[in-house]
Chains A and B, each alone.
Chain A
Amino acid sequence: MTVSHEPLMRIVKRGESPFKLKLLVRLAAVLLALIVDALFIYFVTGLDPLAVYTTMFQGTFSTPMRFSWAMRDLASLLLIGIALAPAFKMRFWNIGAEGQVLMGALATAAVMVFYGGKVPNAILYAAMLVAAVFAGALWGFIPGWFKARLGTNETLFTLMMNYVAIQLVACCVNIWRGQASGLGKLNMKTKAGWFPQLFGQRYNINLMITVLLVVLMYCYLRYSKQGYEIAVVGESENTARYAGINVGKVIIRTMILSGALCGLTGFLIVGGRDQTISTTTAGGNGFTAIIVAWLAKFNTFYMALISFLLIFLEKGAGEIASAYNLNDFASDIIAGIILFFILGSEFFINYKPIFRTGRHETINKEVA
């Protein structure tokens, strides 16, 4: 429906934008953001932005070790993005990844603490994995069930579940550390439950699993029957019912999957990266991954790209910080500005401004 007074400019929805337009708009957004960031750097610090950006580049690429660390951090972020993809595709706002990851990490750590060195390693790994997946799935199931049965607002519910998880972790860390000031690495002596080293690093297992999951999740969403159901439910519950899909079942199942994959991420972080647990094990990646998943429009390969961009910025900012005596919070600002620009650019992909031409012509177009 339309109103009859015509403003100078109106906004209409585009159907589908050509790939070229999407690419151009996004590139322009990142470029503009980098210019704004450069201005920011220049006016705040007086440094030459180009030199700063060069330094930034070194954060990820100066040495193979740097690159390896960047990949390690990318794996954690990307894994969570992958875990969120099915929920978001279903238009279920799972803001609770942080908590779901922590629950997975906590379950992993608990198995390591209680059974480390008491059972064969193979069984220990299996137990860690199962416990982590189960814990994460439970954290996803609870808000999913309430959404499906009572229509409870999932955004707020999952957000609150994060803090319940954080406090649970704090509690357990408190118990396990005993009189010590910190928890330190778990099973320091036996190394039970630590991932074996692969090409020199324990976390290389995480990398491989991440690559595998990028492909698997892509296929799951694109080719599987369940992925198809998720797409239909996300698009229109009415259509889903028409097609005979049990909407509640799909919601719950998908949230279990999303939570389970977050739990798996927790398992990989504890076993392969940290060998310990704290309330910052997820490190805010649970929130950042939401942005990653949303911007990539649930395509796991795009997610890899966006995750890389964000990790690159984070590492680069760290590098700037040490090189120029600044601090690495600059990465939050730079990332924030880039995210604002990319978020804003979506508008130009989805909508088209139309300027007023003649009175009657405009009216005709409005109703056409």
Chain B
Amino acid sequence: MDTLIAWILRAIPFGTIIMYGALGEIITEKSGNLNLGVPGIMYLGGFAGFASAYLYENSVAEPNMVFCVVLALFCAFVAAMFGGLIYSFLTISLRANQNVTGLALTTFGMGVANFFGVFILDGRTATQSLVYKTFQTKIPVLSGMGVIGQTVFGYGFMVYAAIVLAIILHHVLSHTRTGLNLRAIGENPATADAAGISVTRYKYLATCLGAGISGLGGLYYVLDYNQGIWATTGQIEALGWLAVALVIFTTWKPLNAIWGSYLFGMLYWLYQFLPTLIGFSVPGYITDLIQMVPYLVTIAVLIITSLRKKREDQPPASLGLAYFREER
């Protein structure tokens, strides 16, 4: 039982990182843009959030932590949106290839974050922003109420914000005109265009907003999950690809991202808790194989959806294609 609780306490924060990444990418892909720059965008968001908080803390005698949180969120969102804007301009306005542009954005984002990160590190291998304490503030009273309180209410606010965000996105996509128009563009931009919907504007907005949301995943990773510690690692990149995998796993539905991300979190941390769960220890190499599971599951989902050919589970029909009106 204790193992299970510990496991959940690890899995949910982990899932939250990729949930943000995936939610942003779902919006982007719903507009027909396959943005493989998610890892780079998460780097941009994570670094901008961390740097702004860190610099603020170290330049003010008595930093206001609430302000610091807002500042970090704002900077992360804007920096990630900037990544989305580069991608949008190249793929929408200049019709560059989406896959290649996304990969270049990943390189760029990683480069920017780590390059400037080194300045902040200033010779150290890692440095910490204290704002993580505010990010990690649990829900008072409720989180103290036994096992349930611990596992349900024992996280920082961004865990709940992610759930709320998923629900809002679900509502917007399914029940509003904006969502309807966006889905129409991802399915068939020519028809949407004929219906008088501005394809370019929607694609830009969806991609930039999506990037901003994905960037929050990077922020959450640094300032909450990783206890505010910035170090030069490739960790965020792997998380970014996992977020892309999660998008497929959810079959492009935000609500599925909630349980899907937690499931991915459970699978990711399975290796640490498996030995206790099954009662005997497993060799280290098995844990590597267990970490493969999220990807295998994603591949299985990919195959099953193409096998069943259920239309609701397919990727948006125009995913990956640039829209050029004269070709209508």
Is A–B contact present in the complex under a CB 8 A cutoff?
yes
List the interface of chain A (C-beta within 8 A of B): 1-3, 10-13, 93, 95, 146, 150-153, 155-157, 159-164, 167-168, 170-172, 174-175, 284, 287-288, 290-291, 294-295, 326-327, 329-337, 339-340, 343-344, 346-347, 350-351
The answer to whether A172 touches B320, judged by C-beta atoms less than 8 angstroms apart, is no
Chain A to chain B: the 9 pairs with minimum beta-carbon distance, closest first: A332-B111, A336-B108, A167-B292, A171-B288, A174-B285, A347-B94, A329-B115, A333-B111, A339-B104
Binary CB contact string for chain B from 103 to 137 against chain A (1 if under 8 A, 0 otherwise): 11111111110110110000000000000000000
Q: A330-B111, A340-B86 are in contact. Are A156 and B248 (CB under 8 A)?
A: yes
Contacts of B303 in A (CB 8 A): 146, 150, 152
The answer to whether A167 touches B107, judged by C-beta atoms less than 8 angstroms apart, is no
The answer to whether A344 touches B96, judged by C-beta atoms less than 8 angstroms apart, is yes
Cα of A162 to Cα of B241 in the assembled complex, Å: 10
The answer to whether B99 touches A152, judged by C-beta atoms less than 8 angstroms apart, is no
B54 CB to nearest A CB, Å? 18
Residue of A nearest to B305 (CB): A152
A344 CB to nearest B CB, Å? 5
List the interface of chain B (C-beta within 8 A of A): 34, 36, 86, 89-90, 93-97, 99-101, 103-112, 114-115, 117-118, 232, 238, 241, 244-245, 248, 283-286, 288-289, 291-292, 295-296, 298-299, 302-303, 306-307, 315, 320, 324-326, 328
Contacts of A151 in B (CB 8 A): 306
Residue of B nearest to A7 (CB): B325
Q: Give the residue of B101, B107, B295 whose beta carbon is less than 8 angstroms from that of A335.
A: B107
Contacts of B302 in A (CB 8 A): 152-153, 156-157, 160
Q: A287-B103, A327-B115, A344-B94 are in contact. Are A163 and B306 (CB under 8 A)?
A: no
A85 CB to nearest B CB, Å? 14
Residue of A nearest to B194 (CB): A3
The answer to whether A3 touches B325, judged by C-beta atoms less than 8 angstroms apart, is yes
Contacts of B285 in A (CB 8 A): 170-172, 174-175
Q: Give the residue of B104, B232, B295, B328 whose beta carbon is less than 8 angstroms from that of A336.
A: B104
Q: A150-B303, A159-B244 are in contact. Are A329 and B114 (CB under 8 A)?
A: yes
B290 CB to nearest A CB, Å? 9
Cα of A335 to Cα of B112 in the assembled complex, Å: 11
Q: A11-B326, A168-B292, A340-B90 are in contact. Are A93 and B299 (CB under 8 A)?
A: no
The answer to whether A160 touches B94, judged by C-beta atoms less than 8 angstroms apart, is no
Contacts of B299 in A (CB 8 A): 157, 160-161, 164
Contacts of B96 in A (CB 8 A): 343-344, 346-347
Contacts of A351 in B (CB 8 A): 95
Q: Give the residue of A150, A155, A175 whose beta carbon is less than 8 angstroms from that of B320.
A: A155
Cα of A115 to Cα of B241 in the assembled complex, Å: 36
Q: Can you list 11 contacts pairing A with B, beta carbon distance less than 8 Å?
A: A11-B326, A152-B302, A156-B248, A160-B298, A160-B302, A162-B241, A163-B241, A170-B285, A170-B291, A290-B103, A329-B117
Contacts of A3 in B (CB 8 A): 325
Cα of A346 to Cα of B97 in the assembled complex, Å: 9
Q: A153-B306, A163-B295 are in contact. Are A294 and B111 (CB under 8 A)?
A: no
Contacts of A164 in B (CB 8 A): 292, 295-296, 299
Residue of A nearest to B94 (CB): A347
The answer to whether A160 touches B325, judged by C-beta atoms less than 8 angstroms apart, is no
The answer to whether B295 touches A167, judged by C-beta atoms less than 8 angstroms apart, is yes
B293 CB to nearest A CB, Å? 9
Q: Give the residue of A1, A161, A343 whose beta carbon is less than 8 angstroms from that of B104.
A: A343
A84 CB to nearest B CB, Å? 11
Contacts A153-B315, A160-B302 given; 4 further ones with Cβ under 8 A? A327-B118, A329-B111, A336-B111, A343-B101
Contacts of A150 in B (CB 8 A): 303, 306-307
Cα of A291 to Cα of B101 in the assembled complex, Å: 8
Cα of A153 to Cα of B99 in the assembled complex, Å: 13
The answer to whether B115 touches A290, judged by C-beta atoms less than 8 angstroms apart, is no
A184 CB to nearest B CB, Å? 17
Cα of A339 to Cα of B303 in the assembled complex, Å: 33
Contacts of B306 in A (CB 8 A): 146, 150-153
The answer to whether A170 touches B111, judged by C-beta atoms less than 8 angstroms apart, is no
Q: Give the residue of A12, A290, A291, A329 whose beta carbon is less than 8 angstroms from that of B326.
A: A12
Q: A170-B288, A174-B285 are in contact. Are A160 and B114 (CB under 8 A)?
A: no
The answer to whether B99 touches A333, judged by C-beta atoms less than 8 angstroms apart, is no
The answer to whether A333 touches B112, judged by C-beta atoms less than 8 angstroms apart, is yes
Contacts of A343 in B (CB 8 A): 90, 94, 96-97, 100-101, 104
Residue of B nearest to A45 (CB): B119
Contacts of A13 in B (CB 8 A): 324, 326
Cα of A293 to Cα of B320 in the assembled complex, Å: 18
Cα of A155 to Cα of B289 in the assembled complex, Å: 23
The answer to whether A337 touches B326, judged by C-beta atoms less than 8 angstroms apart, is no
Q: Give the residue of B104, B115, B241, B291 whose beta carbon is less than 8 angstroms from that of A340.
A: B104
Contacts of B111 in A (CB 8 A): 329-336
The answer to whether B107 touches A339, judged by C-beta atoms less than 8 angstroms apart, is yes
Cα of A164 to Cα of B93 in the assembled complex, Å: 35
Residue of B nearest to A292 (CB): B100
Contacts of B292 in A (CB 8 A): 163-164, 167-168
Cα of A171 to Cα of B34 in the assembled complex, Å: 31
Q: A3-B325, A160-B245 are in contact. Are A291 and B103 (CB under 8 A)?
A: yes
The answer to whether B296 touches A333, judged by C-beta atoms less than 8 angstroms apart, is no
The answer to whether A327 touches B108, judged by C-beta atoms less than 8 angstroms apart, is no
Contacts of B283 in A (CB 8 A): 174-175
A88 CB to nearest B CB, Å? 10
The answer to whether A174 touches B288, judged by C-beta atoms less than 8 angstroms apart, is yes
Contacts of B326 in A (CB 8 A): 1-2, 10-13
The answer to whether A294 touches B106, judged by C-beta atoms less than 8 angstroms apart, is no
